[in-house]
Amino acid sequence: MITPLSSVHAVGEVAATGGATAGVGGASAAPQADFGKVMGDVAGEAVDALRNAEATSIQGINGAASTQQVVEAVMTAEQSLRTAIAVRDKLVSAYQEISRMAI
């Protein structure tokens, strides 16, 4: 199941703290989160949601899954795909902005 809010929170936490999470007294309470790993995890969850939707759709065609289950799985996959496209668009936009900077 996709949990985009927890992934976004993790990315926001990394960005807000400069890559480290501070505990009591400023000591690092958790290992540093890697932005690439967080993005990989989000992408992996999106792929899992798409595979689940496909499998549930096939089960629905075969009569093993209800219409409600199929619709829920497809809606989750659609939300994951829209999120992935939005992230891709932001990354491309950031790359283009950086490439236009004068050195």
User: What is the rounded (10 degree) CA torsion for 39, 40, 41, 44?
Assistant: 120
Per-residue confidence (pLDDT) for residue 71, from 0 to 100: 97
The count of domains in the chain is 1
Supply 92's token pair: 């491309």
- Tell me the whole-structure pTM to 2 decimals: 0.62
Is residue 2 situated within a structural domain?
Answer: no
Residues 6+ apart with CB under 8 A from 38: 7, 10, 11, 14
Single-letter code of the amino acid located at 99: S
Determine, yes or no, domain membership for 100: yes
Q: What's residue 60's pLDDT? A: 96
Q: How far is CA 103 from CA 14, 31, 91, 93, in A?
A: 28, 34, 20, 19
Domain limits for position 62: 36-103
**Is 81 part of a structural domain of the chain?**
yes
Does 5 reside within a domain?
no
| Residue 21, in any domain of the structure | no
The answer to whether residue 3 sits within a structural domain is no
Instruction: Chunk the chain into consecutive blocks of 10 residues (it has 103) and report each block's average pLDDT, rounded to whole numbers.
Output: 44 45 52 84 92 96 96 96 93 95 86
